[in-house]
Amino acid sequence: MIAVVDYGSQYSHLIARRIRSLGVASEIISPQKNTLELKNIEGIILSGGPSSVYKNRSPRLSDSLLKLNVPILGICYGMQLLAEYFGGRVAKSKSREYGKETIFVNQGNDLFKGLSKRETVWLSHGDKVEKLPKEFRSISSSRSCPIAGFFNRNKNIYAVQFHPEVVHTENGQTVLKNFVFKICRAKKSWNVKDQATKIIKDLREEIGSEKVLIGVSGGVDSLVAANLLHRAIGNKLYAVFIDHGLLRKDEAEEVEVFYKKGGFKHFLKVDASKLFLKKLKGVTDPEGKRKIIGYTFIKVFEDVAKTLGKKDKIAFFAQGTIYPDRIESGASSKQAAKIKSHHNLVLPKKLKFQVIEPLADFYKDEVREIGERLRLPKESLFRHPFPGPGLAVRILGEVSPNRLEILQEADAIYIEELKRAKLYDKIWQAFAALVPVKSVGVMGDSRTYQYMISLRAVTSVDGMTADWFKMPLDVLERVSSRIVNEVKGVNRVVYDITQKPPATIEYE
């Protein structure tokens, strides 16, 4: 097993995901974790993080980790920690590096076996190692970072300034594979497809004869979580679908049909769209919208629970939380920087139920693999991710019924054309967003002053990083023409070509 020490990087769990994809078990631990509790550790990876090692109160390297006497790989902040610990010097860099860069590789070490002399990697740092510790040797450099990697063969310690776990590092998986198998000599012990049976068994044992309430939607995460629970406890599961009115066009009806056909005896659809829109009136702040939607969900669920409680006692509340939800909410460690709130993570603090999160340790691609094991329909499993707060976070600024209708129509046209062009399955996520900035246009002989629609399409493995999809121009032209001609209130369409990072996939 490879332990990943989380120093607050948004990529910490992504490292673990990459290790698991190699067939090796991996566990995230905090820097404060008592190493005596760790078992079967074959190697340690120190993650990146937002701190600077030369500042007070920045997280430090624990002596106890080194006493485990297993190979160590430091990534970004992890590299700087190792440099400082062993007597090197770390300082603020005059030229920061964010995004794709080229590094020059010294191939005389096991970590870089199979790599070229020049490699494209993903860098994200403002500090750099200025002086190597004694008995350590540099193994890579970049245009503004002479020491972009180092190692000490005797101590079995390796470090890199770049992020091998990010897909934009072209041979990053080779670097991790070399560390896991050539340096740590780890044994294969992880198969995500075997997890479905284990999860169902664990759920049966944990829940026993009690009843469970779960909130479902049209998304993959709640779909797989609900079906795992349904396989485990059958009709003791109560599936509640809250229609907050912020869904894609016709989605509420599609969700209801799907679950009823799937044999969910206790399926309840609650139309709360008017309540949500009323609560969102006048709200423009993204976090404000997310929190209002989260709190409103709590209230609606509490009302539903009270109603159900008159007939049946429900002990558990289940939700489809997955790893990225936890990461971006700053829940992976004390050092993690919060990017945005996820409304489903607020619920457990308010509802008086024991909480069950069957998918909390899995990434989106793993969730889909589990769903395939359950033989769920591919068109549902591979539907593009959709945010819990719905179109509220794809309408920049205030959400109004008019803006909502405009976006639903534009988004429906976009997705329809992607499917017609057979591009939908080649894209990780695609959607339209409404930009509440009006611009001048001309339709016929008339001057217009209407909204702008931004189209977003990205490729990704797990949503932690993403690149923009190279959309064929004829498809973009067709989508733009249809939206402008068919959606009243729009006279301009743009295509977003920003990567994640620096941007996020969603707009809010």
34: pLDDT strictly greater than 70: no
* 76 belongs to the catalytic site: yes
- Output the pLDDT for position 285: 93
342: pLDDT strictly greater than 70:
no
Cis peptide before 71, with omega less than 30 degrees from 0?
no
Judge whether 163 counts as a catalytic residue.
Answer: yes
CATH code reported for the domain at 400-495: 3.30.300.10
pLDDT, residue 223, reads 93
Q: 72-75 and 118-131 as β-strands: parallel, antiparallel, unpaired? A: unpaired
Per-residue pLDDT averaged across 103-123, rounded?
Answer: 90
pTM above 0.75, yes or no: no
Fold observed for domain 192-381: Rossmann fold (3.40.50)
In CATH terms, 2-183 corresponds, of 3.40.50.880, 3.30.479.30, 3.40.190.10, 3.40.50.300, to: 3.40.50.880
Q: Is pLDDT of 188 > 70? A: yes
The 8 Å CB, 24+ separation contacts for 165-168 are: 165/11, 165/14, 165/15, 165/17, 165/18, 165/75, 166/11, 166/14, 166/122, 166/464, 166/465, 167/460, 167/461, 167/465, 168/99, 168/100, 168/120, 168/121, 168/122, 168/465, 168/467, 168/499
**pLDDT beyond 70 at 124:** yes
Q: Catalytic residue at 165?
A: yes
Task: For residues 169 and 132, give the distance between their C-alpha atoms in angstroms, rounded to a whole number.
Answer: 24
Task: State the CB neighbour count (10 A cutoff) for residue 375.
Answer: 9
pLDDT higher than 60, residue 186: yes
Residue 339, pLDDT score: 41
Residue, of 388 and 203, whose pLDDT is higher:
203
Predicted confidence (pLDDT) at residue 326 exceeds the cutoff of 70: no
pLDDT at 323 (0 to 100)? 67
The catalytically annotated residue of 84, 119, 165, 506 is 165
CATH 3.40.50.620 placement within the chain: 192-381
Backbone angles phi, psi at 89, to 5 degrees: -130, 135
Residues 6 or more apart whose Cβ sits within 8 Å of residue 21: 173
Per the model's pLDDT, the better-predicted residue between 440 and 203 turns out to be: 203
CATH 3.30.300.10-classified regions of the chain? 400-495
Residue 61 has pLDDT above 60, yes or no: yes
Look at residue 15 in the predicted model and tell me its pLDDT. 92
pLDDT in tens, 135-180: 999 999 987 788 989 999 999 999 999 999 987 899 999 999 999 9
Catalytic residue among 42, 76, 125, 508: 76
Q: Select the more confidently predicted residue: 311 or 151.
A: 151
Distance, CA of 130 to CA of 141 (rounded, Å): 12
- Reported as a single tens digit per residue, the pLDDT across 343-392 is 454 555 555 778 899 998 887 888 999 999 999 998 889 899 888 899 99
Cβ-count burial 263-281 (b if 16+ within 10 Å, e if not): ebeebbbbebbebbbebbe
pLDDT in tens, 434-492: 999 888 777 665 667 789 999 999 998 777 778 999 999 999 999 999 999 999 999 99
How far lies 489's CA from each of 97, 290, 400, in Å? Answer: 41, 26, 13
CATH 3.40.50.880 location in the chain: 2-183
Residue tagged active-site, from 13, 125, 163, 230: 163
Q: How would residue 410 be classed by pLDDT, with cut points 50, 70 and 90? A: very high
Q: Tens digits of per-residue pLDDT, 283-294?
A: 999 999 999 998
Indicate the average pLDDT of the chain.
87
Q: Identify which of 222, 219, 218 has the alpha carbon closest to the alpha carbon of residue 230.
A: 222
Residue 436 phi/psi, 5-degree rounding, is -75, 45
CB 475 within 8 A of CB 422: no
Q: List C-alpha distances in Å: 423 to 37, 416, 461.
A: 48, 10, 16
